Amino acid sequence: MSNQEPAINMNNYRYPSEQVILFGTVFLILVVLLLAAGTTLCVLPLFFLVILILSYATSQSHHRALIAQAKHVTSESLPSLAKLAQECARKLQPGPTQLFVVPSRILNAYTFGLESPKVIVLYSSLFQVMDADELRFIIGHEMGHAALGHTWLNTLLGGMAGVPPSFGAAILFALAFRLWNRACEYSADRAGLLACGRLDKAISALVKLVDARIDTPEEMKEALEILEQQDDTLEGMLIESTATHPLIGNRIEKLREWAASSEYQRLQALINRNATKI
């Protein structure tokens, strides 16, 4: 019997309703497009092909522009950050990825790519407010998007939803697509938590994304109280229903629930053992 620990199954940390929402979104788009096409199914394969070609061209153009202005993270260029990213990759096994740092005052990170390696982009201002564990959460979150297939699905679905046959369909597509986007964020947050291994650091990283001035435990507590009240207001619920990301308070609540589960404890222990053996 082998003493090697089993590989991580990405579906073990995927948010439960993510795939259900995805199937519903794709079904909705296909039905509306079929009704708009009127008679024939042969339009759809051509439509998908055009979307893929345009999406690939856009991705390649974005990649070229990124290389021109960003710093590629390697063991030679940014050794400490490269090491941190390698630690996250050993835990999450997202497949081939490239990490770039873009100079910016905005606190942000994102992932894109239709093919391997997927590209993870970190904005330089993150390093001014995040410690190592918080950065592990941010990088792990983006690697979760890559591992779970969100990058190419987001590109394809976004292209499909971007050419609706009517104004009413445009609204319907946008709401369904963004509902799936929000479910993806919950999944990626779970990946970030697994990468950093500390719920308190996952929470502080999320809070700092909306308030970089936080510097003390008292300020963190006050910010959390404000964020956790947002989903109790009608304004907060309306804002979230049209956004690609859930409210930070809701993301923190979902992370807390998952971190308290036996499923998370088992998966975190497995990932930590695997990471130390590689």
50-88 pLDDT, tens digit each: 766 777 777 778 777 877 889 999 999 999 999 999 999
**pTM of this prediction?**
0.87
State pLDDT tens for residues 152-207.
887 766 555 455 555 566 677 777 888 999 999 999 999 999 999 999 999 999 99
Those residues whose C-beta lies under 8 Å from the C-beta of residue 244, and which sit 6 or more positions away, are 178, 181, 182, 185
Comparing 71 with 2, which gets the higher pLDDT?
71
Instruction: Return d(Cα 59, Cα 152) in angstroms, integer.
Output: 10
Tell me which range, 15-29, 189-203, 211-225, is most confidently predicted by mean pLDDT: 189-203
pLDDT band at 2 (very low <50, low <70, confident <90, very high): very low
pLDDT tops 70 at residue 239:
yes
